[in-house]
Structure 1
Amino acid sequence: MNTTQLFLGVIFSSIGLGYFLYGKKQKMTVPFLAGLVLMVFPYFIESSILLGTIGIALSALPYFLRF
């Protein structure tokens, strides 16, 4: 694991924690699940480019899907 992957993992996990807490408090499914996935997925992705791409897509998902 290099520094870029560590930094991206911390950033996306922090965003995920925010979405997770927001979704839990508001009882909204999409932010809750997106937050959960954002907190877990950096452990399984080796590529920095793939990590950034998936992280940005998951971070934008609750904005476009409102359930």
Structure 2
Amino acid sequence: MNASTLLWGVLFGSIGFGFFLYGRKQQAVVPLACGLALMVFPYFVSGTLPLMAIGIALMAVPYFVKL
């Protein structure tokens, strides 16, 4: 694990925490699930590019999926 992977993981975890809080307050399932996924997935992805790709995709999901 290098410094960039660690910093990207912290960034996506922080954004995920914001999505999680928003989804919990609004009782919206999509931001809640994406927030939880954003907080957890950096523990399982080791490369920087896959980390960025998955993080950006998970951040985009609540904007395109409205339930």
TM-score, length-normalised on structure 2? 0.98
1:20-35 matches, cutoff 5 A = 20-35=20-35
Runs of 5+ unmatched residues, structure 2: none
Unaligned runs of 5+ in 1: none
Amino acid of the structure 2 residue aligned with 1:12: F
- Counterpart in 2 of 1:65? 65
**What is the total number of aligned residue pairs between the two structures?**
67
Identity of aligned residues (%): 55
CA RMSD of aligned residues (A): 0.4
Query: Where has structure 1 moved over 6 Å in runs of 4 or more?
Result: none
**Secondary structure of 2:46's match?**
coil
Mapping for residues 1-67 of structure 1, pairs under 5 Å: 1-67=1-67
Structure 1 length-normalised TM: 0.98
